[in-house]
Structure 1
Amino acid sequence: MAHRRCIGRKPFITVLYMVAVCSGVPVSDLLDRASQHSDKLHSLSTTLTHELDSHFPAMGRVIMPRPSVCHTSSLQTPSDKEQALQVSESELLSLARSLLQAWVDPLVVLSSSANTLSHPAQSKIINKILELQEHSKNLGDGLKILSGKMDPTAQTISSLPYRGGNDTGQDRISKLIRFHFLLSCFRRDSHKIDSFLKVLRCRAAKIQPHLC
Protein backbone atom coordinates (compact mmCIF):
# COMPACT_ATOMS: atom_id res chain seq x y z
CA MET A 1 0.00 0.00 0.00
CA ALA A 2 2.88 2.33 0.82
CA HIS A 3 4.34 1.54 -2.57
CA ARG A 4 1.10 2.58 -4.29
CA ARG A 5 0.98 5.86 -2.42
CA CYS A 6 4.56 6.53 -3.44
CA ILE A 7 3.79 5.96 -7.12
CA GLY A 8 0.72 8.14 -6.85
CA ARG A 9 2.71 11.25 -6.00
CA LYS A 10 4.19 11.77 -9.49
CA PRO A 11 2.74 15.01 -10.91
CA PHE A 12 5.56 15.65 -13.34
CA ILE A 13 8.55 13.39 -12.61
CA THR A 14 8.92 10.32 -14.77
CA VAL A 15 7.53 6.97 -13.70
CA LEU A 16 11.00 5.46 -13.86
CA TYR A 17 12.44 8.02 -11.46
CA MET A 18 9.61 7.70 -8.95
CA VAL A 19 9.66 3.92 -9.00
CA ALA A 20 13.42 3.96 -8.47
CA VAL A 21 13.30 6.14 -5.36
CA CYS A 22 10.45 4.13 -3.85
CA SER A 23 11.76 1.26 -1.74
CA GLY A 24 11.60 -2.43 -2.50
CA VAL A 25 11.26 -2.24 -6.30
CA PRO A 26 13.12 -5.04 -8.13
CA VAL A 27 15.80 -4.09 -10.64
CA SER A 28 13.87 -6.09 -13.25
CA ASP A 29 10.93 -3.68 -12.88
CA LEU A 30 13.20 -0.65 -13.22
CA LEU A 31 14.75 -2.13 -16.36
CA ASP A 32 11.31 -2.81 -17.78
CA ARG A 33 10.36 0.84 -17.41
CA ALA A 34 13.73 2.02 -18.75
CA SER A 35 13.23 -0.20 -21.79
CA GLN A 36 9.84 1.40 -22.41
CA HIS A 37 11.45 4.85 -22.39
CA SER A 38 14.27 3.79 -24.71
CA ASP A 39 11.77 2.21 -27.09
CA LYS A 40 9.89 5.52 -27.25
CA LEU A 41 13.14 7.38 -27.85
CA HIS A 42 14.08 5.19 -30.81
CA SER A 43 10.54 5.31 -32.18
CA LEU A 44 10.54 9.11 -32.11
CA SER A 45 13.91 9.37 -33.85
CA THR A 46 12.76 6.91 -36.53
CA THR A 47 9.56 8.88 -37.13
CA LEU A 48 11.56 12.11 -37.40
CA THR A 49 13.98 10.58 -39.88
CA HIS A 50 11.09 9.43 -42.07
CA GLU A 51 9.61 12.93 -41.82
CA LEU A 52 12.82 14.42 -43.17
CA ASP A 53 13.08 11.78 -45.89
CA SER A 54 9.77 12.98 -47.32
CA HIS A 55 11.37 16.29 -48.32
CA PHE A 56 15.07 15.59 -48.76
CA PRO A 57 17.07 16.45 -51.93
CA ALA A 58 18.54 13.49 -53.82
CA MET A 59 21.99 15.08 -53.83
CA GLY A 60 21.83 15.22 -50.06
CA ARG A 61 22.02 11.44 -49.81
CA VAL A 62 25.17 11.45 -51.90
CA ILE A 63 27.12 14.05 -49.94
CA MET A 64 25.80 13.30 -46.45
CA PRO A 65 28.66 12.11 -44.14
CA ARG A 66 28.98 8.42 -43.34
CA PRO A 67 27.84 7.06 -39.96
CA SER A 68 31.51 6.53 -39.02
CA VAL A 69 31.78 10.32 -38.73
CA CYS A 70 29.19 10.45 -35.91
CA HIS A 71 30.79 11.91 -32.78
CA THR A 72 29.93 8.76 -30.80
CA SER A 73 31.64 6.38 -33.23
CA SER A 74 34.79 6.17 -31.10
CA LEU A 75 32.86 4.34 -28.37
CA GLN A 76 33.40 0.61 -28.69
CA THR A 77 29.98 -1.05 -28.50
CA PRO A 78 28.60 -4.51 -29.32
CA SER A 79 27.67 -4.66 -33.00
CA ASP A 80 24.74 -7.05 -32.56
CA LYS A 81 22.65 -8.90 -29.98
CA GLU A 82 25.01 -11.86 -29.83
CA GLN A 83 27.90 -9.60 -28.84
CA ALA A 84 25.72 -7.67 -26.38
CA LEU A 85 24.87 -10.93 -24.62
CA GLN A 86 28.59 -11.43 -23.94
CA VAL A 87 28.98 -8.05 -22.20
CA SER A 88 28.41 -7.66 -18.45
CA GLU A 89 25.26 -5.96 -17.18
CA SER A 90 27.16 -3.08 -15.63
CA GLU A 91 29.16 -2.41 -18.79
CA LEU A 92 26.03 -2.44 -20.95
CA LEU A 93 24.40 0.09 -18.65
CA SER A 94 27.56 2.21 -18.72
CA LEU A 95 27.51 2.19 -22.54
CA ALA A 96 23.86 3.22 -22.64
CA ARG A 97 24.50 6.06 -20.19
CA SER A 98 27.58 7.21 -22.14
CA LEU A 99 25.60 7.40 -25.38
CA LEU A 100 22.76 9.32 -23.75
CA GLN A 101 25.16 11.79 -22.15
CA ALA A 102 26.92 12.33 -25.48
CA TRP A 103 23.68 13.60 -27.02
CA VAL A 104 22.83 16.32 -24.50
CA ASP A 105 24.55 19.10 -26.51
CA PRO A 106 23.76 17.82 -30.04
CA LEU A 107 20.05 17.63 -29.17
CA VAL A 108 20.20 21.30 -28.18
CA VAL A 109 21.75 22.03 -31.60
CA LEU A 110 18.97 20.08 -33.34
CA SER A 111 16.34 21.92 -31.31
CA SER A 112 17.67 25.39 -32.17
CA SER A 113 18.31 24.46 -35.82
CA ALA A 114 14.78 23.12 -36.28
CA ASN A 115 13.47 26.68 -35.92
CA THR A 116 15.18 27.69 -39.16
CA LEU A 117 14.76 24.41 -41.05
CA SER A 118 13.18 24.69 -44.48
CA HIS A 119 10.70 21.83 -44.38
CA PRO A 120 6.89 21.59 -44.79
CA ALA A 121 6.61 19.72 -41.47
CA GLN A 122 8.82 22.14 -39.55
CA SER A 123 6.43 22.64 -36.62
CA LYS A 124 5.98 18.88 -36.22
CA ILE A 125 9.74 18.38 -36.33
CA ILE A 126 10.29 21.06 -33.67
CA ASN A 127 7.78 19.39 -31.34
CA LYS A 128 9.30 15.94 -31.82
CA ILE A 129 12.82 17.22 -31.16
CA LEU A 130 11.57 18.68 -27.88
CA GLU A 131 10.06 15.28 -27.08
CA LEU A 132 13.42 13.65 -27.82
CA GLN A 133 15.12 15.99 -25.39
CA GLU A 134 12.57 15.28 -22.68
CA HIS A 135 12.64 11.50 -23.08
CA SER A 136 16.43 11.48 -23.29
CA LYS A 137 16.78 13.46 -20.05
CA ASN A 138 14.17 11.34 -18.24
CA LEU A 139 15.83 8.12 -19.34
CA GLY A 140 19.26 9.44 -18.35
CA ASP A 141 18.00 10.37 -14.88
CA GLY A 142 16.44 6.94 -14.47
CA LEU A 143 19.54 5.07 -15.60
CA LYS A 144 21.68 7.09 -13.19
CA ILE A 145 19.53 5.87 -10.32
CA LEU A 146 19.56 2.32 -11.68
CA SER A 147 23.36 2.37 -11.96
CA GLY A 148 23.55 2.94 -8.20
CA LYS A 149 21.92 -0.45 -7.69
CA MET A 150 24.53 -2.26 -9.79
CA ASP A 151 28.29 -2.77 -9.92
CA PRO A 152 30.37 0.48 -9.77
CA THR A 153 31.28 -0.09 -13.43
CA ALA A 154 27.74 0.96 -14.34
CA GLN A 155 28.45 4.45 -13.00
CA THR A 156 31.34 5.01 -15.40
CA ILE A 157 30.53 7.36 -18.28
CA SER A 158 32.86 7.69 -21.27
CA SER A 159 33.48 11.22 -22.51
CA LEU A 160 32.28 11.69 -26.10
CA PRO A 161 32.38 15.46 -26.69
CA TYR A 162 30.44 16.96 -29.57
CA ARG A 163 32.60 19.35 -31.59
CA GLY A 164 30.21 20.07 -34.44
CA GLY A 165 29.45 23.61 -33.30
CA ASN A 166 26.06 25.24 -32.82
CA ASP A 167 25.26 25.80 -36.48
CA THR A 168 24.01 23.17 -38.94
CA GLY A 169 24.80 25.27 -42.02
CA GLN A 170 24.05 28.52 -43.83
CA ASP A 171 22.00 27.64 -46.90
CA ARG A 172 18.80 25.57 -47.06
CA ILE A 173 20.41 22.42 -48.48
CA SER A 174 23.37 22.33 -46.10
CA LYS A 175 21.04 22.83 -43.14
CA LEU A 176 18.86 19.91 -44.23
CA ILE A 177 21.86 17.66 -44.83
CA ARG A 178 23.55 18.46 -41.52
CA PHE A 179 20.29 18.18 -39.62
CA HIS A 180 19.51 14.83 -41.26
CA PHE A 181 23.01 13.54 -40.53
CA LEU A 182 22.84 14.45 -36.85
CA LEU A 183 19.40 12.91 -36.54
CA SER A 184 20.59 9.74 -38.30
CA CYS A 185 23.45 9.45 -35.82
CA PHE A 186 21.01 9.83 -32.94
CA ARG A 187 18.67 7.25 -34.42
CA ARG A 188 21.56 4.78 -34.66
CA ASP A 189 22.61 5.41 -31.07
CA SER A 190 19.04 5.30 -29.74
CA HIS A 191 18.73 1.85 -31.33
CA LYS A 192 21.89 0.75 -29.50
CA ILE A 193 20.60 2.10 -26.19
CA ASP A 194 17.26 0.37 -26.70
CA SER A 195 18.99 -2.91 -27.61
CA PHE A 196 21.30 -2.80 -24.57
CA LEU A 197 18.43 -2.13 -22.18
CA LYS A 198 16.33 -4.91 -23.68
CA VAL A 199 19.20 -7.35 -23.17
CA LEU A 200 19.52 -6.15 -19.57
CA ARG A 201 15.77 -6.55 -19.04
CA CYS A 202 15.92 -10.02 -20.53
CA ARG A 203 18.76 -11.07 -18.22
CA ALA A 204 17.04 -9.63 -15.13
CA ALA A 205 13.92 -11.61 -15.98
CA LYS A 206 16.14 -14.72 -16.36
CA ILE A 207 14.92 -15.37 -19.89
CA GLN A 208 16.99 -17.77 -21.98
CA PRO A 209 19.48 -15.82 -24.22
CA HIS A 210 18.07 -17.21 -27.47
CA LEU A 211 14.66 -15.75 -26.54
CA CYS A 212 15.99 -12.25 -25.83
Structure 2
Amino acid sequence: MQVTLNLPGSGMYLLLLVSTVLLWENVASNPTGLVSIEDLYHRVVEQSHNTYIVAADIYREFDLNFAKRSWLRDRIPPMCHTSSIHTPEDRKQVHETTTVDLLKAILNVTYAWEEPVKHLLPAVTALPGVSENMMKRAIDVKGKIHILAEGIETILNRTETEPGFDGNDYPAWTGLEDLKSSDEDTRLFTIYNLCRCLRRDTHKVDSYLKVLRCRVVFKNECF
Protein backbone atom coordinates (compact mmCIF):
# COMPACT_ATOMS: atom_id res chain seq x y z
CA MET A 1 0.00 0.00 0.00
CA GLN A 2 1.34 3.41 -0.90
CA VAL A 3 0.52 6.73 0.70
CA THR A 4 -0.06 9.52 -1.77
CA LEU A 5 -0.88 13.16 -1.38
CA ASN A 6 -4.45 12.33 -2.37
CA LEU A 7 -5.43 11.55 1.19
CA PRO A 8 -8.23 13.89 2.29
CA GLY A 9 -6.87 17.14 3.63
CA SER A 10 -3.25 16.36 2.76
CA GLY A 11 -2.90 19.35 0.44
CA MET A 12 -4.12 21.74 3.10
CA TYR A 13 -1.83 20.04 5.62
CA LEU A 14 1.22 20.59 3.39
CA LEU A 15 0.32 24.24 2.96
CA LEU A 16 0.01 24.58 6.74
CA LEU A 17 3.37 22.87 7.23
CA VAL A 18 5.15 25.18 4.78
CA SER A 19 3.52 28.34 6.15
CA THR A 20 4.34 27.40 9.74
CA VAL A 21 7.98 26.63 8.98
CA LEU A 22 8.30 29.92 7.09
CA LEU A 23 6.80 31.69 10.11
CA TRP A 24 9.42 30.22 12.44
CA GLU A 25 12.22 31.08 10.01
CA ASN A 26 10.98 34.66 9.72
CA VAL A 27 10.80 35.03 13.49
CA ALA A 28 14.29 33.54 13.89
CA SER A 29 15.79 35.91 11.32
CA ASN A 30 13.97 38.91 12.72
CA PRO A 31 14.17 38.77 16.55
CA THR A 32 12.70 42.23 16.85
CA GLY A 33 9.59 41.18 14.93
CA LEU A 34 6.06 41.39 16.18
CA VAL A 35 5.94 37.87 17.66
CA SER A 36 6.73 38.08 21.37
CA ILE A 37 8.53 35.39 23.30
CA GLU A 38 5.29 34.83 25.19
CA ASP A 39 3.42 34.12 21.97
CA LEU A 40 6.20 31.81 20.82
CA TYR A 41 5.86 29.77 24.00
CA HIS A 42 2.10 29.56 23.58
CA ARG A 43 2.57 28.29 20.02
CA VAL A 44 5.18 25.64 20.81
CA VAL A 45 3.20 24.39 23.81
CA GLU A 46 0.12 23.99 21.61
CA GLN A 47 2.24 22.27 18.95
CA SER A 48 3.93 19.96 21.46
CA HIS A 49 0.64 18.97 23.05
CA ASN A 50 -0.90 18.18 19.66
CA THR A 51 2.21 16.19 18.72
CA TYR A 52 1.90 14.12 21.87
CA ILE A 53 -1.80 13.46 21.22
CA VAL A 54 -1.01 12.22 17.70
CA ALA A 55 1.89 10.06 18.92
CA ALA A 56 -0.31 8.55 21.63
CA ASP A 57 -3.02 7.78 19.06
CA ILE A 58 -0.50 5.99 16.82
CA TYR A 59 0.74 3.89 19.74
CA ARG A 60 -2.78 3.10 20.90
CA GLU A 61 -3.94 1.94 17.47
CA PHE A 62 -0.81 -0.12 16.82
CA ASP A 63 -1.06 -1.76 20.24
CA LEU A 64 -4.72 -2.57 19.66
CA ASN A 65 -4.45 -3.93 16.12
CA PHE A 66 -0.92 -5.21 15.57
CA ALA A 67 0.94 -5.82 18.83
CA LYS A 68 1.37 -9.44 19.84
CA ARG A 69 1.15 -9.86 23.57
CA SER A 70 3.84 -12.56 23.47
CA TRP A 71 6.36 -9.79 22.76
CA LEU A 72 5.84 -8.43 26.24
CA ARG A 73 6.58 -11.86 27.72
CA ASP A 74 9.36 -13.04 25.43
CA ARG A 75 11.25 -9.84 24.63
CA ILE A 76 12.55 -6.97 26.69
CA PRO A 77 11.98 -3.68 24.85
CA PRO A 78 15.30 -1.97 24.12
CA MET A 79 16.09 1.44 25.52
CA CYS A 80 14.79 4.33 23.45
CA HIS A 81 17.47 5.81 21.20
CA THR A 82 17.06 9.13 23.04
CA SER A 83 17.87 7.63 26.44
CA SER A 84 21.45 8.90 26.31
CA ILE A 85 20.24 12.51 26.16
CA HIS A 86 20.52 13.98 29.62
CA THR A 87 17.10 15.18 30.74
CA PRO A 88 15.67 15.94 34.20
CA GLU A 89 14.14 12.87 35.81
CA ASP A 90 11.64 14.48 38.16
CA ARG A 91 9.87 17.76 38.86
CA LYS A 92 12.60 18.93 41.26
CA GLN A 93 15.33 18.43 38.66
CA VAL A 94 13.23 20.18 36.01
CA HIS A 95 12.88 23.26 38.18
CA GLU A 96 16.60 23.21 39.01
CA THR A 97 17.57 23.17 35.30
CA THR A 98 18.20 26.53 33.66
CA THR A 99 15.89 27.63 30.86
CA VAL A 100 18.63 27.46 28.23
CA ASP A 101 19.80 23.99 29.29
CA LEU A 102 16.24 22.68 29.34
CA LEU A 103 15.54 24.14 25.89
CA LYS A 104 18.70 22.46 24.56
CA ALA A 105 17.67 19.10 26.02
CA ILE A 106 14.17 19.45 24.56
CA LEU A 107 15.59 20.37 21.17
CA ASN A 108 18.01 17.44 21.16
CA VAL A 109 15.18 15.01 21.91
CA THR A 110 13.03 16.55 19.18
CA TYR A 111 15.81 16.57 16.58
CA ALA A 112 16.57 12.94 17.41
CA TRP A 113 13.09 12.00 16.18
CA GLU A 114 13.16 13.70 12.79
CA GLU A 115 14.93 10.78 11.11
CA PRO A 116 12.97 7.90 12.73
CA VAL A 117 9.54 9.38 11.92
CA LYS A 118 10.55 9.63 8.25
CA HIS A 119 10.86 5.84 8.22
CA LEU A 120 7.90 5.22 10.51
CA LEU A 121 5.51 6.47 7.82
CA PRO A 122 6.33 3.84 5.13
CA ALA A 123 6.54 1.15 7.82
CA VAL A 124 3.05 1.98 9.08
CA THR A 125 1.74 2.25 5.53
CA ALA A 126 2.93 -1.30 4.78
CA LEU A 127 1.04 -2.82 7.72
CA PRO A 128 -1.67 -5.22 6.51
CA GLY A 129 -5.11 -3.72 7.00
CA VAL A 130 -3.79 -0.45 8.40
CA SER A 131 -6.52 2.14 8.82
CA GLU A 132 -6.57 5.45 6.96
CA ASN A 133 -6.62 7.20 10.33
CA MET A 134 -3.33 5.59 11.37
CA MET A 135 -1.71 6.54 8.06
CA LYS A 136 -2.89 10.12 8.47
CA ARG A 137 -1.52 10.17 11.99
CA ALA A 138 1.87 8.91 10.77
CA ILE A 139 1.96 11.67 8.15
CA ASP A 140 0.85 14.21 10.72
CA VAL A 141 3.45 13.35 13.36
CA LYS A 142 6.28 13.64 10.84
CA GLY A 143 5.30 17.23 10.04
CA LYS A 144 4.55 18.14 13.64
CA ILE A 145 7.98 17.00 14.85
CA HIS A 146 9.66 19.20 12.24
CA ILE A 147 7.51 22.23 13.03
CA LEU A 148 8.07 21.74 16.76
CA ALA A 149 11.85 21.61 16.30
CA GLU A 150 11.74 24.86 14.32
CA GLY A 151 9.73 26.54 17.05
CA ILE A 152 11.94 25.39 19.93
CA GLU A 153 15.08 26.45 18.07
CA THR A 154 13.54 29.87 17.47
CA ILE A 155 12.87 30.29 21.20
CA LEU A 156 16.38 29.11 22.05
CA ASN A 157 17.90 31.62 19.63
CA ARG A 158 15.85 34.37 21.26
CA THR A 159 16.80 33.22 24.78
CA GLU A 160 20.48 32.30 24.60
CA THR A 161 22.81 35.27 25.05
CA GLU A 162 25.90 33.38 23.90
CA PRO A 163 24.86 30.98 21.13
CA GLY A 164 26.66 27.68 21.39
CA PHE A 165 24.10 25.03 20.58
CA ASP A 166 25.30 22.18 18.39
CA GLY A 167 22.36 21.21 16.24
CA ASN A 168 23.84 17.75 15.65
CA ASP A 169 24.43 16.86 19.28
CA TYR A 170 21.88 14.07 19.52
CA PRO A 171 22.10 10.27 19.23
CA ALA A 172 21.54 8.61 15.88
CA TRP A 173 18.71 6.14 15.46
CA THR A 174 20.02 2.72 14.38
CA GLY A 175 16.81 0.75 13.94
CA LEU A 176 16.37 1.04 10.18
CA GLU A 177 17.69 -2.43 9.40
CA ASP A 178 15.24 -4.06 11.83
CA LEU A 179 12.43 -1.86 10.54
CA LYS A 180 13.02 -3.25 7.05
CA SER A 181 13.60 -6.84 8.20
CA SER A 182 12.00 -9.66 6.22
CA ASP A 183 11.08 -11.24 9.55
CA GLU A 184 7.59 -10.02 10.44
CA ASP A 185 8.03 -10.27 14.20
CA THR A 186 11.27 -8.28 14.10
CA ARG A 187 9.68 -5.62 11.94
CA LEU A 188 6.53 -5.32 14.04
CA PHE A 189 8.49 -5.29 17.29
CA THR A 190 10.62 -2.44 15.94
CA ILE A 191 7.52 -0.44 15.00
CA TYR A 192 6.11 -1.15 18.45
CA ASN A 193 9.23 0.23 20.13
CA LEU A 194 9.27 3.28 17.88
CA CYS A 195 5.66 4.05 18.74
CA ARG A 196 6.30 3.41 22.44
CA CYS A 197 9.36 5.66 22.59
CA LEU A 198 7.76 8.36 20.45
CA ARG A 199 4.81 8.54 22.82
CA ARG A 200 7.17 8.70 25.82
CA ASP A 201 9.39 11.42 24.38
CA THR A 202 6.61 13.63 23.01
CA HIS A 203 4.98 13.53 26.45
CA LYS A 204 8.30 14.46 28.06
CA VAL A 205 8.84 17.37 25.67
CA ASP A 206 5.29 18.57 26.19
CA SER A 207 5.71 18.49 29.98
CA TYR A 208 9.04 20.36 29.89
CA LEU A 209 7.72 23.06 27.58
CA LYS A 210 4.72 23.64 29.83
CA VAL A 211 7.09 24.10 32.77
CA LEU A 212 9.15 26.59 30.76
CA ARG A 213 6.06 28.52 29.70
CA CYS A 214 4.99 28.67 33.32
CA ARG A 215 8.45 29.92 34.28
CA VAL A 216 8.98 32.45 31.50
CA VAL A 217 5.48 33.66 30.66
CA PHE A 218 3.63 33.31 33.96
CA LYS A 219 6.58 33.82 36.32
CA ASN A 220 5.92 30.46 37.98
CA GLU A 221 2.41 31.49 38.99
CA CYS A 222 0.48 28.92 37.01
CA PHE A 223 0.18 26.02 39.46
Bin for the TM-score computed over the shorter chain:
0.7 to 0.9
Preserved contact between residue 25 and residue 150 of structure 2 (Cα < 8 Å): no
Write out per-residue CA displacement over residues 73-118 of structure 1, whole angstroms, 9 at most, x where no aligned residue. Answer: 1111111222211111111111111011111111122112112223
**Runs of 4+ with >6 A deviation:** none
40, 44, 51: which one pairs with 1:41? 51
Corresponding residue number in structure 2 for 1:147: 156
Q: Structure 1: which amino acid aligns with 2:142?
A: Q
Write out per-residue CA displacement over residues 163-207 of structure 1, whole angstroms, 9 at most, x where no aligned residue. Answer: 222441323333222101111111111111111111111011234
140, 146, 158: which one pairs with 1:137? 146
- Deviation of 1:38 (Å): 0.4
- Deviation of 1:52 (Å): 1.1
Q: Judge which range, 122-131 or 191-200, deviates more.
A: 122-131
Count of residues paired in the alignment: 200
Corresponding residue number in structure 2 for 1:160: 171
With over 3 angstroms needed to count, the CA separation of the structure-2 counterparts of 1:19 and 1:194, relative to structure 1, is farther
Corresponding residue number in structure 1 for 2:84: 74
168, 188, 196: which one pairs with 1:176? 188
Quick check: 1:193 aligned with 2:170?
no
Preserved contact between residue 85 and residue 209 of structure 1 (Cα < 8 Å): no
Write out per-residue CA displacement over residues 55-84 of structure 1, whole angstroms, 9 at most, x where no aligned residue. Answer: 2211022244435x2111111111122221
| Separation in structure 1 between the aligned mates of residue 48 and residue 204 of structure 2, nearest angstrom | 9
Q: Judge which range, 16-25 or 124-133, deviates more.
A: 16-25
Quick check: 1:60 aligned with 2:71?
yes
Preserved contact between residue 56 and residue 199 of structure 2 (Cα < 8 Å): yes
| Separation in structure 1 between the aligned mates of residue 156 and residue 191 of structure 2, nearest angstrom | 32
Q: Which runs of 5+ in 1 are unaligned?
A: 1-9
| Separation in structure 2 between the aligned mates of residue 200 and residue 20 of structure 1, nearest angstrom | 19
Q: What CA RMSD, in Å, does the superposition of the two structures yield over aligned residues?
A: 2.4
Q: What TM-score comes out, normalization by structure 2 length?
A: 0.80
| Separation in structure 2 between the aligned mates of residue 144 and residue 92 of structure 1, nearest angstrom | 12
Q: Which runs of 5+ in 2 are unaligned?
A: 1-14
Quick check: 1:13 aligned with 2:19?
yes
Preserved contact between residue 147 and residue 154 of structure 1 (Cα < 8 Å): no
Corresponding residue number in structure 2 for 1:121: 130
- Aligned 1:95-114 pairs, distance under 5 A: 95-114=105-124
With over 3 angstroms needed to count, the CA separation of the structure-2 counterparts of 1:148 and 1:112, relative to structure 1, is same
DSSP 3-state at the match of 2:82: coil
